[in-house]
Amino acid sequence: MTAPEALTAPPTARPADVERDESEDDPTGIGVRDVWAAARARRRALRAEVRRFTVRQRRRRMLWGGTLAALLLLVLGTLGAAYSPLFAVEQVSVVGTSTLDAGAVEAALAGQIGTPLPLVDSSSVKAVLVTFPLVESYTLEARPPHELVVRIVERTPIGSIQSAAGYTLVDAAGVALSTTPEPAAGHPVIVATGGVGSDAFDAIGTVFRSLPDDIRGQVTQMTATTANDVTLTLGGTGTEVVWGNADDSAYKAVVLAKAMTARPPDGVSSYDVSSPNAVVMR
């Protein structure tokens, strides 16, 4: 008779579909999922801390950004309006003239009507103004919304020079302003050896501009052969004023005025102020 087989229980097999608990391998009971969750929580906490500590900086950035955007819109809007027909020239005003006909200048500049003020062509304005010999210089001034102001400085005539064409009125720079058959009324005749480009003419111009208005109005002729022998003639009495060169002309003008007050021209044939500290009257 055979010995009975030992009764032993077979080992229990783990079902294949049952997942293995990874925490079983870790004596602390913390699994990979717990680590990942902790890492995600830490990253969220760091982002929250960064946002909390940079909130003021972000607000400043937003404020500056909004301000710059508003300024940009304002500039673009202003430029757009300025270059639009809203600011087009509707009126040209000429100021500063006394001899020159302002109306004639305004009519000549009518081509600027309808042009936006910032787009007024200064070259075309200059091309018009150079046709007026009396214009020495000018400035342009925009008066929004529709006015263009042209400020003119006129040339100051000093006298007329005789030529084959008649008498040409000139300023101190020798620029011809007009030509007439007879000398221009209210202006002396100039006799300068060498013409308008000479030293004699330059000296005459300097002397004339130094005279006070009341004496200037009495001068009917100015002559010079060189820069050192300028002589004036007072028309009412034919009295001569020996001036000499143009040095110290302002001082000589003061001395002449005092001499004419002390002894009026109707009783004097000649004032010699070439040496202003020793005036000679005859």
DSSP structure class, residue 99: S
pLDDT at residue 37, as a whole number: 77
Q: Which pair of tokens denotes residue 153?
A: 């400085």
Q: How many helices (H) and strands (E) does the chain have?
A: 7, 12
Rounded to the nearest integer, the mean pLDDT of the chain is 85
Instruction: Please choose, from the candidates 245, 160, 235, 176, the residue with its C-alpha nearest in 3D space to the C-alpha of residue 210.
Output: 245
- Of the listed ranges 26-30, 128-132, 270-274, the least confidently predicted one is 26-30
Six token digits for residue 28: 């602390």
Query: Confidence class of residue 128 from pLDDT cuts 50, 70 and 90?
Result: very high
| Pair 227, 200: CB distance under 8 Å | yes
93 in Cβ contact with 149 (< 8 Å): yes
Cα(155)–Cα(160) distance, integer angstroms: 14
Tokens at 219, concatenated? 């001068």
Strand ordering across the sheet containing 135-143: 91-95, 147-154, 135-143
The model's pTM: 0.66
- DSSP class of residue 116? B
Q: Count CB atoms within 10 A of the CB of residue 253.
A: 20
Q: Answer yes or no: is pLDDT of 5 > 90.
A: no
